[in-house]
Amino acid sequence: MRIIPAIDIIGGKCVRLTKGDYSTQKTYSENPVEMAKTFEDAGIQYLHVVDLDGAKAKQIINWKTLELLASQTGLNIDFGGGIKSETDVLTAFKCGAKQITVGSIAVQNPALMLEWLNQYGAEKIILGADCKDRMIATGGWLESSSLDVLSFVQEYESKGVKYSIVTDIDKDGMLSGPAFDLYEEIISETGIHLIASGGITTIEDLTRLKNIGCEGAIIGKALYEGTINLKELSELC
């Protein structure tokens, strides 16, 4: 299972939100590159980067930060937040992202999502499936839909998607454990490579997610608040 620390960016700084609420912003580092290097020094190979400014603005904003993270570390970066156009896709890959996460467009413009999937390949495009009460949310979690998360993932898997980041918004940033039941359901009903995100709090959570069959696990606030430490993650890696 891939261990994937998260760096969320607002104004070029490393921040965390609670349940996606921008009013809960807490800054953990003025320098995301230094933060990423501490992950890399611990033996971690992957990084999840979210442009929160971009998610709200509906276009990539913090591309310079992505470029610095990619050029000054050897981490394999998946990038999301504000990817709404071909220009945004090209910018993300040009600035060093190995994979991009597409959520809102997958809801609002499925034809464009499938065009990107065919153009760049299933190894490059991750389906972002962020949900609240099982319903998919978009636009930096500011907009809701009537799409059930399982049906959403199943539909895109049938069209060639291999990877999906599934986040239960109510779990995100709460340090109360991830949505194990939801992940078990999705893994049992699909063949998707599921990347768990939201609520991961302890090493035991990671072990359980691995046993469930998750392909990856994204860790955010637990690292910054110290409920999981880098030494523990280093040993897992």
3-state SS of 152-218?
Answer: HHHHHHCCCCCEEEEEEHHHCCCCCCCCHHHHHHHHHHCCCEEEEECCCCCHHHHHHHHHHCCCEEE
Query: 115: part of which helix (H) or strand (E)?
Result: helix 110-120
Phi, psi values for residue 141, rounded to 5°: 70, 15
Distance CA 233, CA 230 (A): 5
Among 79, 104, 116, smallest CA distance to 4 is for 79
Residue 8 bears catalytic tag? yes
Set 130, 168, 172, 205: catalytic member: 130
DSSP letter for 21, please: E
Strands 46-51 vs 2-10: parallel, antiparallel or unpaired: parallel
Query: Residue 173: how many CA atoms within 13 Å on its side-chain side?
Result: 14
Set 8, 51, 78, 205: catalytic member: 8
Contact partners, residue 170, CB within 8 Å, separation at least 6: 19, 132, 133
Distance CA 164, CA 156 (A): 9
Residues 72-82: b if buried by 16+ CB within 10 A, e if exposed: ebebbbbbbbb
Active site residues: 8, 130
